Amino acid sequence: MSPEIWSVILLTLQVALVSTLLVMLPATVLGYVLARYEFWGKSVVSAIVGLPLVLPPTAVGFLLLRLFAVDGPLGRENLGFDFNILLNWKGAVIATATMSLPLVARTAKATFEGINPRLEMMAQTLGHSRLTTFFQYSLPMARRGLLAAVILGFTRAMGEFGATVTIAGNIPGRTQTVAGAIFSAQQVGDIGKADFLMVIAITVGFLAIMSTELLSRGRRLHGMAR
Amino acid sequence: MTGTQLPTLAPTLDALRVNIRLSLDRFDLDVDLTTAKQVTGIFGISGAGKTSLLEAICGLRRQAQGRISLGQDVWLDTDSRTFIKPSQRHIGYVPQDGLLFPHKDVRQNLLAGSKRALQNGHALHQTFDIVTFILELQPLLNRDVTTLSGGERQRVALGRAICSGPRLLLLDEPFASLDLALRRKLLPFLRRLRTEFHIPMLFVSHDPIEVQALCDDLIVLKDGAIIAQGDPREVLTETQIFPLAEQAGFENILPCRLLDGNGSTSRVRLGEGEGDQSCTVELVTLRSEAQPGDAMLAGIPANDIMLATKRPEGLSARNVLPARITELRSVGSVDLVTAEISPDLPPLTVEVTEKSFVELGLQVGGEVFLVIKATSCRLYESGLSAM
Amino acid sequence: MYNNRKAGEFPKLLEGIKPGAAILYSAKMRKKSLGAGCVRERLPVTLLLVLYIILCIMAVQVSGCSDSDSTRKERPSLVVFVAASLRDVVQEVGLSFALTHDVDLVYNFAGSNTLAQQIKASRAADVFLSANVDWVDFLEKVNLLVPGSRRNFLSNRLVVVSRKDAHFQFYNPLDPHDSFDPRALATLNFSFLALADPEAVPAGRYAKAFLESVELDGGSLWRALKDKVAPTADVRAALGLVESDPMIIGVVYRTDVTTSDKTKLLYEVPSTLHPAITYCATALKDRPNSGLVEEYLDFLSSPDAAAVYKNYGFLQETRTFEECMLRKTWVKP
């Protein structure tokens, strides 16, 4: 494997890891709130959170690009300081985080919905505050499903292209991910490189989905929510 | 009045005052109760609002309006907008479905409320040891809770509630999901807990036997309102309540001590005391596997007792007990005769048809003989060791 | 070769990842074993939250380190936004340029429309190499170009191709344009004519324009062949169709044929029969190193660059603006 392919893979891993790490807690909390609470405007919030799932990734990318443009609402001219996330790894992280957060949040929500809320109520009657109940009861009981959610989010981050290339560019050495390298290779007919990278992408995706399958099966065997 | 009074060594208990209104599906829960007894039973048919009442006391029903207090602690007061969160109410709740935490083993479940217990200054380790002993949980401590049987799960749920150092225990038909034989076997555990830990308890049940065996006070809930409160036996035999109790399997409950067994029967001496007590009435019952000397509870269904105005002869029934009528009452299509065998024993309630009532010319104060077949008497473990 | 990182810099990335991954793993393990319930094993919730936040900050810092390396260079760098189809040819030309100039070339490859939007939003590019004149016009309208710097530097040709083992044969290497009568395509025995979608993709539009410019009795070549057209999502997909079946012919770019060894050239379309396929280069305003940018742009039009373009099937653009606009219909010579 040539050094530049290796560096592309490493960069993709790095971006996906950082993005998943940043998304993990907010998405889990969001999933919990959507699963357990009713509040005014809940469906609106749920819809906004789900948008990146239904919009084409390039559309999301362009939205972010307009947002952080030099003359955009979060740009240098309007805020006075520069977030400096366009065309560098920070943009890549933001793009992948935006695309994977809804996936993690929805999976987390489904996981929490599968846990009997009366168990949390029981923890409260035993003297635990809402916060403690969440960390010491809800999370551990949901850990399999949450792990699957995080893995899904990581996989999504690994494969993210449309939004990433738009806001972070496809800059070899800086923001060129596996998906970006495949795109570039295909555009010029470099089939060998494209195929090789495809195999990598397929392998990673396959392993990830397999592990989520195994995790969910394990849950059924143990009979979690009682 | 003597009920199945177990020795209560406790000092005076804090009074629990619940005065609330809560909207439910088919009716509104509107309850005003005060109790300072150790075990207060809540009796009623399914859907009468019993679970909602317990959950409201726990603080899990935010829509409840009114006032709830235990002693000096006010947990809910709508007028002054006071609402103490469930996690701060120091209540041990044992729901019908146990709700053990699947991600912890038995020991960890038992200690799930340990933080609060320690904060309240409870001797957690001692309590833990006593609870595991009384509820016979030692062999289960490292087991995964999902592998436990129904009875074992409920015992762990009970133990968990007690180990959390509560000021009040709420038991919501903890054994309802278990079969009858198992429930009878678990009754002694509850009685032992009652003796050992002087925590006030609200015990919801639709089983008249459990209620009589365990409770010092009984409340009957119907369609969200309290329709009776008082001594368990008296309340259950009240006119409007007796049909319900009968349907749920009412039996007269008498404390007794096993003397010996012979073939298919056992012989017991009625009364709680030791051998030198004044009561010497004996009863022949169905065979029990308990040891001679064990304290037991004898259960006799009300419609399994015959009355005779003269001592009968030549009957197959093994028990003929003289008694004095203390009360006569009509309940729907049947009549209830309450007769006392001895002042130290709870009176027995006998169900007779209207005709016999009039034909025999029964009167309060009159002498009658209670004729009871051995096969009508069941023995239940009492939970108290031989003294 | 394909990026500007030296081999020795990779270990830094690895070093950054390893401790990060280790901490991530151990935190996950701790989170899992949390909630043991026993008095002794309780972890305060706040401690865990603090740990998580520290972990996030560390991850961000580590990533930031490896990125700032590339900006901490002594050499000046030129950021070149390049249409994706020009990846290989531009990188090779860049290598030659870098031999004689002390510069670090940083590329960004994407579709011309994406690149134009990115330039407008970020103002982070020095040079824009676009596959489409329209997008340079777009940037000119918002006043982001260095005046006078734009030029058409590269051009491509349309070609008609088939699979190597197909029985079609009418390419004369000695006289590629004039000896063949494209009207013969109307009677040629093929199953499908693969094109990039003429409604959406420039390559398809050019192909359709070419076919419409050839007049036949009762219409144009396009009208005659319309029913046999198989439109594809992009020109590379059209090429894929041709490669899959010897009975399918296609209209693609000359540069596509150069990289494919499964196709053969049937006919090279005269450039006057369709809108000019021209690639435009321009410098962007308010950037440092403007002298270097000028040298780079000049290099793109130099003979050295022309040689590289030829290898890939491109042609250095030598036509004037007016010549580019010239359109004709096909005329039998």
Q: What is the DSSP secondary-structure string of B304-371?
A: GEEEESS---S-S-SEEEEEEEEEEEEETTEEEEEEES-TTSPPEEEEEEHHHHHHTT--TT-EEEEE
Q: What is the pLDDT, as a whole number, of residue C52?
A: 84
Q: Is C158-273 a domain of CATH 3.40.190.10?
A: yes
Distance from the Cα of B110 to chain C's closest Cα (Å) equals 9
Compare all CA atoms of chain C with the CA of B113 and give the residue at the minimum distance: C37
The whole-angstrom separation of Cα A4 and Cα B34 is 79
Furthest-apart CA pair in chain B: how many Å?
71
Q: Does B133 touch chain A (CB under 8 A)?
A: no
Reported confidence tier of residue A220, pLDDT bands at 50, 70, 90: low
CA neighbor of A117 nearest in space, from A204, A52, A35, A19: A35
Reported confidence tier of residue C32, pLDDT bands at 50, 70, 90: very low
Q: Does B115 touch chain A (CB under 8 A)?
A: yes
Between B335 and A28, name the one with better pLDDT: A28
Q: Which residues pair with C106 in a beta bridge?
A: C79
Q: Does B103 touch chain C (CB under 8 A)?
A: yes
Q: B101 with B150: CB under 8 angstroms?
A: no
Between B80 and C319, name the one with better pLDDT: B80
Q: What is the pLDDT, as a whole number, of residue C143?
A: 92
The whole-angstrom separation of Cα A224 and Cα A217 is 11
* Mean pLDDT, residues B285-305: 84
**DSSP element (H, E) containing C74:** none
Q: Is the pLDDT of residue C175 over 80?
A: no
Compare all CA atoms of chain A with the CA of C113 and give the residue at the minimum distance: A166
Chain A hits for C3, Cβ within 8 Å:
4, 7, 172-173, 176
Out of A191-205, B13-27, B308-322, C51-65, which region has the weakest mean confidence (pLDDT)?
Answer: C51-65
Out of A33-47, B62-76, C72-86, C237-251, which region has the weakest mean confidence (pLDDT)?
Answer: C72-86
Which of A197-206, B270-279, C13-22 is most confident?
A197-206
Residues 118-137 of B with CB under 8 A from C: 118, 124
- Structural Rg of chain C based on CA atoms: 27
Q: Does A225 touch chain B (CB under 8 A)?
A: yes
* Mean pLDDT, residues B18-22: 90
Q: What is the pLDDT, as a whole number, of residue C13?
A: 42
End-to-end Cα distance, chain C: 47
Q: B45 with B56: CB under 8 angstroms?
A: no
Fold equal for C77-155+277-325 and C158-273: yes
Q: Is the pLDDT of residue A70 over 60?
A: yes
How many beta carbons lie within 10 A of that of residue C55, not counting itself?
Answer: 18
C3 vs A13, A88, A172: nearest CB: A172
Paired tokens of B177:
């999901």
Report CB contact under 8 Å: A86, C106.
no
Chains touching chain B at 3 or more Cβ pairs under 8 angstroms?
A, C
Q: Is the pLDDT of residue A13 over 60?
A: yes
Compare all CA atoms of chain A with the CA of B93 and give the residue at the minimum distance: A125
Q: Is the pLDDT of residue C218 over 90?
A: no
Q: What is the pLDDT, as a whole number, of residue A77?
A: 81
A127 vs B103, B116, B146: nearest CB: B116
Q: B286 with B245: CB under 8 angstroms?
A: no
Q: Which residues pair with B22 in a beta bridge?
A: B29
The whole-angstrom separation of Cα B84 and Cα B101 is 24
Q: What is the pLDDT, as a whole number, of residue B384?
A: 59
Q: Is the pLDDT of residue A221 over 60?
A: no
Report CB contact under 8 Å: C37, B124.
no
Reported confidence tier of residue C2, pLDDT bands at 50, 70, 90: very low
The whole-angstrom separation of Cα A49 and Cα A61 is 15
Residue among C50, C63, C92 with most chain A CBs within 10 A, to mutate: C63
Q: Which residues pair with B329 in a beta bridge?
A: B336
Q: What is the pLDDT, as a whole number, of residue C11?
A: 39
How many contiguous H segments (helices) and E segments (strands) does chain A have?
12, 0
pTM, two decimals, is 0.77
The whole-angstrom separation of Cα C313 and Cα C86 is 11
List CB contacts of B313: < 8 A, sequence separation 6 or more: none
The whole-angstrom separation of Cα C269 and Cα C329 is 12
Length of chain C, please? 333
A124 vs B86, B102, B103: nearest CB: B86
Residues 87-126 of A with CB under 8 A from B: 116, 118-119, 121-126
Q: What is the pLDDT, as a whole number, of residue C105?
A: 93
Chain A hits for C2, Cβ within 8 Å:
4, 172
Q: What is the pLDDT, as a whole number, of residue B218?
A: 93
Q: What is the pLDDT, as a whole number, of residue C10?
A: 37
The whole-angstrom separation of Cα B34 and Cα A72 is 66
Listed by start position, the domains of chain C span: 7-71, 77-155+277-325, 158-273
Q: What is the pLDDT, as a whole number, of residue B42?
A: 92
Chain B hits for A130, Cβ within 8 Å:
87
Q: B298 with B378: CB under 8 angstroms?
A: yes
Q: What is the pLDDT, as a whole number, of residue A1?
A: 64
Paired tokens of C262:
């499964």
Q: Is the pLDDT of residue B115 over 70?
A: yes
Distance from the Cα of C126 to chain A's closest Cα (Å) equals 13
Give backbone dihedrals phi and psi of A3, rounded to 5 degrees, phi first.
-60, -35
Q: What is the pLDDT, as a whole number, of residue B387?
A: 32
* Mean pLDDT, residues B64-89: 90
Q: What is the pLDDT, as a whole number, of residue B1?
A: 37
Between C172 and C328, name the one with better pLDDT: C328
Q: Is the pLDDT of residue A64 over 80?
A: yes
Q: What is the pLDDT, as a whole number, of residue C19?
A: 53
Q: What is the pLDDT, as a whole number, of residue B36?
A: 87
pLDDT, tens only, B171-206? 998 888 788 888 888 888 888 888 888 889 999 988
Report CB contact under 8 Å: A223, B146.
yes
List CB contacts of C31: < 8 A, sequence separation 6 or more: A139, A143, C48
Q: Is the pLDDT of residue B379 over 80?
A: yes
Q: Does C31 touch chain B (CB under 8 A)?
A: no
Mean pLDDT score of chain B, rounded to an integer? 85
Three-state SS across B127-177?
Answer: HHHHHHHHCCCHHHCCCEHHHCCHHHHHHHHHHHHHHCCCCEEEEECCCCC
Q: Does B63 touch chain A (CB under 8 A)?
A: no
Q: B232 with B41: CB under 8 angstroms?
A: yes
Q: Is the pLDDT of residue C36 over 90?
A: no
Paired tokens of A92:
């890549």
Q: Is the pLDDT of residue C147 over 60?
A: yes
Mean pLDDT score of chain C, rounded to an integer? 80
Compare all CA atoms of chain B with the CA of C32 and give the residue at the minimum distance: B103
Assign a CATH topology to domain C77-155+277-325: D-Maltodextrin-Binding Protein; domain 2 (3.40.190)
DSSP calls for C241-289: HHHH-TTEEEEEEHHHHHH-SSEEEEEEPPGGGSS--EEEEEEBSS-S-
Paired tokens of A73:
């609402």
Q: Is the pLDDT of residue C40 over 70?
A: no
CA neighbor of B348 nearest in space, from B313, B304, B294: B304
The whole-angstrom separation of Cα B195 and Cα B214 is 10
Furthest-apart CA pair in chain A: how many Å?
65
Reported confidence tier of residue B283, pLDDT bands at 50, 70, 90: confident
> Does residue A210 come out as left (phi exceeding 0), alpha (psi in the -120 to 50 range) or beta?
alpha
A226 to A120, B99, B101, C164: CA distances (angstroms): 12, 7, 8, 66
**DSSP element (H, E) containing A47:** helix A42-54
Q: What is the pLDDT, as a whole number, of residue B170?
A: 94
DSSP calls for A75-134: SHHHHSS----TTSHHHHHHHHHHHHHHHHHHHHHHHHHTS-HHHHHHHHHTT--HHHHI
Q: Identify the three-state secondary structure at position C1.
A: coil
Reported confidence tier of residue C9, pLDDT bands at 50, 70, 90: very low
For residue A211, the enclosing domain spans 3-222
Residue among C31, C33, C39 with most chain B CBs within 10 A, to mutate: C39
Residue among A125, A219, A220 with most chain B CBs within 10 A, to mutate: A125
Q: What percent of chain B has pLDDT over 90?
A: 18
Reported confidence tier of residue B275, pLDDT bands at 50, 70, 90: low
Out of A172-181, B88-97, B268-277, B313-322, which region has the weakest mean confidence (pLDDT)?
Answer: B268-277
Chain C hits for A167, Cβ within 8 Å:
118
Report CB contact under 8 Å: A125, B88.
no
Mean pLDDT score of chain A, rounded to an integer? 88
The whole-angstrom separation of Cα C184 and Cα C224 is 11
How many beta carbons lie within 10 A of that of residue A218, not counting itself?
Answer: 11
Q: B364 with B350: CB under 8 angstroms?
A: no
Length of chain A, please? 226
Q: Kindly report each contact of residues C232-235 with a partner whose C-beta sits within 8 Å and lies 24 or more positions away, as own/partner.
A: C232/C194, C232/C195, C232/C196, C232/C197, C233/C196, C233/C197, C233/C201, C234/C196, C234/C197, C234/C201, C234/C203, C235/C196, C235/C201, C235/C203, C235/C204
Q: What is the CATH number of the domain that holds A161?
A: 1.10.3720.10
* Burial of C286 from C-beta contacts in 10 A (0-12 / 13-18 / 19+): exposed
Report CB contact under 8 Å: B86, A141.
no
* Burial of B182 from C-beta contacts in 10 A (0-12 / 13-18 / 19+): middle
Q: What is the pLDDT, as a whole number, of residue B98?
A: 85
List CB contacts of B247: < 8 A, sequence separation 6 or more: none
Burial B237-263 (b: 16+ CB within 10 A, else e): bbeebbebbbebebbbbbbbbbbebee
Instruction: Kindly list the structural domains of chain B, giving each domain's residue range(s) and its CATH number in brackets, ordered by start.
Output: 16-251 (3.40.50.300), 253-381 (2.40.50.100)
Chains touching chain A at 3 or more Cβ pairs under 8 angstroms?
B, C
The whole-angstrom separation of Cα C82 and Cα C127 is 8
Q: What is the pLDDT, as a whole number, of residue A79?
A: 81
Q: What is the pLDDT, as a whole number, of residue A29?
A: 93
Furthest-apart CA pair in chain C: how many Å?
97
Count up the domains in chain A and report the number: 1
The arrangement of strands across the sheet holding C127-130 comes to C104-110, C77-83, C127-130, C278-283, C151-155, C315-316
Q: C231 with C196: CB under 8 angstroms?
A: yes
